């Protein structure tokens, strides 16, 4: 990054809409700003923040609009387009959160040569009519440049995504999904690829406050793949440490199954072969995750989320408590020693992911119908449920 560039993403949420405003400060003396407003979220696409931003910047750079289901499927299925999109998403996943407010979020983006060469912008004064009044007032009240200097020098809390997937359309996607709602200010997020089986450096491992295990198309109980038992060792080290610490772990789908099977429980194939259930009601037990969190008391009821899995946990992990269940799966969620939370369902999924699944199941009419129903209902019950749960997961990891 060249020293004269300071950049930020201003994300504002209201009851009706969500906006992403992209600012680049080019002159610290005059305060001139380059400005792009990205109206990214619609009823057709309801993505997480990082993916929304990547989609908006991608359309600006490459003049390729991603506004509906067809656009997104074309992007994911085309190497030419997808790897460019993935590169932009990677840039966003690597950036810092400067301010994490109740209804807004400011990202610091490394405005490197990639954006500098490919994203031509027009200069706009801070008090220009092109800048909306609410945004203008915010930037007048907050010296973003000085805040960036202070924030970037501050010691950051370290978090880690434990990636268990290698399909190309998930490259950087899981980081974007999870970091989009989990990352807060003064945090640094890194990704550790479980499939590569590279040992954690001990000093780095000790510094990590929270871990997130992604989903995967692999079987969590298939120990013939060396990286699977390798993963078990990491999970056990986090949940049952030799010396007590305050590390936390969140596992989703494969992560839930792998923690279950690798930490004293059991996972296997669902009784129904090729099991799919995309929208389901999840029920929560009145059990404290820790002294500050009881999900049954803070989540909306009934609670709906998106599910897509063929395996399941049928026996709890060691010292685990049953947090949630459904009519189809007895163990939808576990809490272990106030250190780990795992869920079979997908609190990180959004409509864009469902569109991809819909495309992949185009030769399965029955599945197509189920997925389409999930898409149609997602912006209502499932979106509201996930929004409340994700806020609690963010607090849990940082606690």
Task: Quick: pLDDT tens for 216-229.
Answer: 999 999 999 999 99
C-alpha distances in Å from residue 272, one per residue of 208, 267, 304, 329: 38, 14, 21, 11
136 confidence band (pLDDT: 50, 70, 90): low
**Which of 3-7, 47-51, 172-176, 259-263 has the least mean pLDDT?**
3-7
Burial label, 227 (beta-carbon count in 10 A; 0-12, 13-18, 19+): middle
pLDDT of residue 16: 47
According to DSSP, the β-strands at 18-25 and 6-13 are antiparallel
How confident is the model over 316-344, as a mean pLDDT? 96
**Which of 240-254, 302-316, 368-382 has the least mean pLDDT?**
368-382
Both structure tokens of 158:
């370290």
pLDDT of residue 36: 66
123: pLDDT strictly greater than 60: no
397 confidence band (pLDDT: 50, 70, 90): very high
* Choice between 215 and 125, residue whose per-residue pLDDT is larger: 215
How confident is the model over 109-119, as a mean pLDDT? 71
4 confidence band (pLDDT: 50, 70, 90): very low
- Total-model pTM: 0.90
Are residues 162 and 211 in contact, defined by beta-carbon separation less than 8 angstroms? yes
257 confidence band (pLDDT: 50, 70, 90): very high
Q: Which residue has the tokens 């997020």?
A: 189
58: pLDDT strictly greater than 90: no
For the range 220-228, what are the long-range contacts, defined as Cβ-Cβ under 8 Å and sequence gap of 24 or more? 220/254, 220/257, 220/258, 220/260, 220/261, 220/262, 220/267, 220/311, 221/257, 221/261, 221/266, 221/267, 221/268, 221/311, 226/197, 227/194, 227/195, 227/196, 227/197, 228/258, 228/262
Are residues 259 and 340 in contact, defined by beta-carbon separation less than 8 angstroms? yes
Task: Compute the distance between CA of residue 329 and CA of residue 332 in angstroms, rounded to an integer.
Answer: 6
299: pLDDT strictly greater than 90: yes
Total number of residues shown for the chain:
399
C-alpha closest to that of 327 among 296, 302, 357: 302
pLDDT of residue 122: 57
pLDDT of residue 8: 61
13: pLDDT strictly greater than 60: no
* Choice between 92 and 126, residue whose per-residue pLDDT is larger: 92
178: pLDDT strictly greater than 90: yes
Neighbours of 248 (CB within 10 A): 23
pLDDT of residue 147: 72
346 confidence band (pLDDT: 50, 70, 90): very high
274: pLDDT strictly greater than 90: no
pLDDT of residue 151: 76
306: pLDDT strictly greater than 60: yes
pLDDT of residue 259: 98
Strand partners, 343: 252, 333
C-alpha distances in Å from residue 388, one per residue of 203, 215, 235, 382: 34, 21, 26, 10
Burial label, 296 (beta-carbon count in 10 A; 0-12, 13-18, 19+): middle
For the chain, how far is it from start to end, CA to CA, in angstroms? 33
1 confidence band (pLDDT: 50, 70, 90): very low
How confident is the model over 165-191, as a mean pLDDT? 92
pLDDT of residue 327: 92
How confident is the model over 68-73, as a mean pLDDT? 85
334: pLDDT strictly greater than 60: yes
287: pLDDT strictly greater than 50: yes
pLDDT of residue 256: 98
How confident is the model over 181-201, as a mean pLDDT? 94
278: pLDDT strictly greater than 60: yes
Structural domains in the chain, sorted by start: 6-153 (no CATH), 157-398 (3.40.50.880)
């Amino acid at each position: 990054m060249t020293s004269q560039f300071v950049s930020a993403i201003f994300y504002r949420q209201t009851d009706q809409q969500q906006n992403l405003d992209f600012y680049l400060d080019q002159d610290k003396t005059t305060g001139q700003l380059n400005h792009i407003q990205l109206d990214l979220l619609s009823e057709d696409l309801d993505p997480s923040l990082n993916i929304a931003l990547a989609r908006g910047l991608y359309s600006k750079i490459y003049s390729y609009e991603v506004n509906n289901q067809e656009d997104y499927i074309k992007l994911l299925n085309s190497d030419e387009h997808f790897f460019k999109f993935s590169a932009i998403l990677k840039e966003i996943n690597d950036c810092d959160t400067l301010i994490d407010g109740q209804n807004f979020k400011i990202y610091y983006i490394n405005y490197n040569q990639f954006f500098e060469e490919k994203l031509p912008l027009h200069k706009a004064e801070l008090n220009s009519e092109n800048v909306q009044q609410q945004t203008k007032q915010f930037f007048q009240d907050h010296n973003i440049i000085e805040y960036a200097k202070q924030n970037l020098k501050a010691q950051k809390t370290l978090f880690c995504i434990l990636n268990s997937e290698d399909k190309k359309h998930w490259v950087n996607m899981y980081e974007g999904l999870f970091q989009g709602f989990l990352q807060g200010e003064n945090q640094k997020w890194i990704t550790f690829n479980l499939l590569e089986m590279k040992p954690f450096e001990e000093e780095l491992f000790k510094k990590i406050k929270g871990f997130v295990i992604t989903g995967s198309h692999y079987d969590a109980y298939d120990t013939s793949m060396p990286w699977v038992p390798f993963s078990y060792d990491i999970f056990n080290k986090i949940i049952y440490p030799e010396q007590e610490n305050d590390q936390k772990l969140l596992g989703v789908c494969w992560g839930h199954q792998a923690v279950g099977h690798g930490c004293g429980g059991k996972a296997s194939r669902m009784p129904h072969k090729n099991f799919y259930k995309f929208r389901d009601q999840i029920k929560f037990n009145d059990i404290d995750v820790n002294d500050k969190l009881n999900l049954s008391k803070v989540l909306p009821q009934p609670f709906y989320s998106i599910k897509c899995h063929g395996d399941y946990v049928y026996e709890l992990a060691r010292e685990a408590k049953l947090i949630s269940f459904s009519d189809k799966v007895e163990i939808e969620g576990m809490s272990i020693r106030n250190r780990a939370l795992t869920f079979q369902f997908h609190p990180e999924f959004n409509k864009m992911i469902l569109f991809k699944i819909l495309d992949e199941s185009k030769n399965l009419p029955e599945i197509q119908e189920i997925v389409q129903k999930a898409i149609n209902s997602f912006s209502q019950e499932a979106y509201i449920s996930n929004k409340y749960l994700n806020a609690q997961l963010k607090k849990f990891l940082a606690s």
